[in-house]
Amino acid sequence: MKSNKFYSRIAAGLEAMNIEYQEYMIDQLQDYLKFLKEENKKYNLTALDEPDEIITKHFFDSLSFLSKFNLKQEKFIDIGTGAGFPGMVIKIFKPGLDMILLDSLAKRVNFLKKLSTRLGLKKLEVVHARAEDLARDKIYREGFDWVVARAVAPVNTLSEYTLPLVRLNGKAVFFKGPGYKEELQEAQNALAILGGRLKDTIKVKVPDLKGERYLVLIEKDSSTPEKYPRRAGIPKKRPL
């Protein structure tokens, strides 16, 4: 067992969340942190720069997903992944997933492609596109078992970004703070239109994080009408 400070802290967090791991996964996460700090100075990939904050608010928050869902070799996409949260972190600890990381900013996409090569990850694709455009592509539309979004947007907007990509009986999961209840009230119409149904809201304990975190679980009950999503920018400007 390794004894450096980073390893000990990550191992303690994983054990607190009951997440299985192997030592090499923590090594990959440490390399991720190192490369993120190097590239963040040049490209401003994330507002957080202190290692302790990145570990708690990005790594552990992303991993909270794995504390509640037992993933197998399934098709998984992270919408608006930013610098790889939560998708890249989940991929490290679930290497069997068929993973796509989606972002609309070229600098983030380039960073993630370099990181993927650096870490030697397989079955991982980084795509430069808007979610609204990707969901119009027959290759991707209704093609995923899991669609996750940690991006800062209300549930009604996130639903239009994600549900067109979710296969029938698949799931969308949104990372949220304590204000999620009001968002869900406002999203009832969007969910009904897009074929989704609120399955559960799950409180998660993120190690070392002050404040409440929740995972909003949406299940896809019926196919999304072809006219959705609307063109890029409209779901944000005029939510359903």
Residue 118 and residue 115: Cα distance in Å, rounded? 5
pTM: 0.96
Q: What tokens does 133 get?
A: 């455009």
Residue 73: predicted pLDDT: 85
Say whether 142 counts as a known binding-site residue: no
Quick: pLDDT tens for 148-167: 999 879 999 999 999 999 99
Torsion of CA 174, 49, 51, 17, to 10 degrees: -10
pLDDT single digits (tens) 66-122: 999 989 889 999 999 999 999 999 999 999 999 999 999 999 999 999 999 999 999
Q: Is the pLDDT of residue 2 over 60?
A: yes
Assigned CATH for 5-237: 3.40.50.150
**From CA 188, how far away is CA 197, in angstroms rounded?**
9
| Residue 238 assigned as binding residue | no
- C-alpha to C-alpha distance for 114 and 117, rounded to whole angstroms: 5
Is 131 labelled as part of a ligand binding site?
Answer: yes
The domain segmentation of the chain, as residue ranges, is 5-237
Pairing, β 213-220 against β 166-176: antiparallel
161 residue type, one letter: Y
On whether 177 is known to bind a ligand per the annotation, the reply is no
pLDDT of residue 19: 98
The reply to whether 150 sits in an annotated binding site is yes
